[in-house]
Structure 1
């Protein structure tokens, strides 16, 4: 039983066939040679060639009414050489970029080396920040005794008292109106609306 070939093996065999022949062939010719010389299934040769064309390893051109396939060994060598040159160029660019980054990192680290003087300065800074926070907390605790704060609270208290008395007067007016209009006693009105008997202006 013939061993089944993988798609990669078929492509390799067809490429070897074209390189060995160093000529131009139609599909029918390649199917015949591929089956006879490389033991590739006839049904898969067309797809194998198309895969090689898609990978730019084999050329396909229509001449007149026929399609011709070809691939020369020298082309593969040239392509490999070009690819190697491109990779080497990319490698050089990456090395240069790496050197620039390393230089920038070294520059950024200057003045940030750990030293005894720096450690002392950092400790001093931490102490100052702690002192500042403690003083801020102390100021907040005694802020209620600040004259400006007390005056502001006093003004707000006067405004609140005046507003409360206005609402109280309005309620008294409504009580009187209901008493006169509907003959409702004040005590009944207060009971109905949950108003305390001692309700009065502040």
Structure 2
């Protein structure tokens, strides 16, 4: 004796959409609450919640007429929504391809003049040597900074103003 497992929300949603697509009719909430448990096995307590989630996701249309709410969803609307989504995704794909081509052209353009050759290698070595020399000179300058007359004057001027 195994316990009967309930339906997941997605299963309930798909079964609820089947009701709309099979009947191609307009329903009130009370009609759906009667039909869904009998024909699709959706528990009566969750029918309203499932229906509201479908309305929130624009899969089911709703309209208030007088004091009643009417719900409907036709297969043509679902097909149209999928076509629109497909067109949007295809457009995004095409935009992505164009960006990729533009970036590849920029990379190719940037590579021009950067081909590996002896002159370039020599210039890069010289640049590295000059950077090292600059760093050494900066370190030496820091070492002698204490003896700089401007720095000595800066250090003494606040001491004079304190007195």
Task: Give me the TM-score of the superposition, normalised by structure 1.
Answer: 0.62
Residue in 2 that maps onto 1:88: 90
Which of the pair has the greater relative contact order for Cα pairs under 8 Å at 6+ separation? 2
Matched residue, 1:105 = 107
Gaps of 5+ in 1: 153-202
Which digits, 9 at most, give the CA deviation of each residue in 1:53-82, with x for residues without a partner? 001000111011100000000110011011
Partner of 1:66: 68
Once residues 133 and 35 of structure 1 are traced to their aligned partners in structure 2, the CA distance between those partners, rounded to angstroms, is 80
Change (3 A) 1:60 1:127: closer
Q: Cα distance, 1:127 vs. partner?
A: 4.9
Separation in structure 2 between the aligned mates of residue 19 and residue 122 of structure 1, nearest angstrom: 71
2:121 is matched with which residue? Answer: 119
Output the aligned Cα RMSD: 2.8
In structure 2, which of residues 5, 8, 16 is the aligned counterpart of residue 6 of structure 1? Answer: 8
2:47 corresponds in structure 1 to 45
Larger radius of gyration: 1
Tell me the number of residue pairs that the alignment of Structure 1 and Structure 2 aligns. Answer: 143
Cα distance in 1 between the residues matched to 2:121 and 2:43: 77
Partners of 1:89 and 1:59 lie apart in 2 by 27
Q: Where does structure 2 lack aligned partners over 5 or more consecutive residues?
A: 150-163
Q: 1:30 aligns with which of 16, 32, 53?
A: 32
Within 5 Å, give how 1:130-169 maps onto structure 2. Answer: none
Distance across 1 between alignment mates of 2:36 and 2:85? 29
CA spacing shift, 1:21–1:110, aligned 2, 3 Å: same
Structure 1 counterpart SS, 2:46: helix
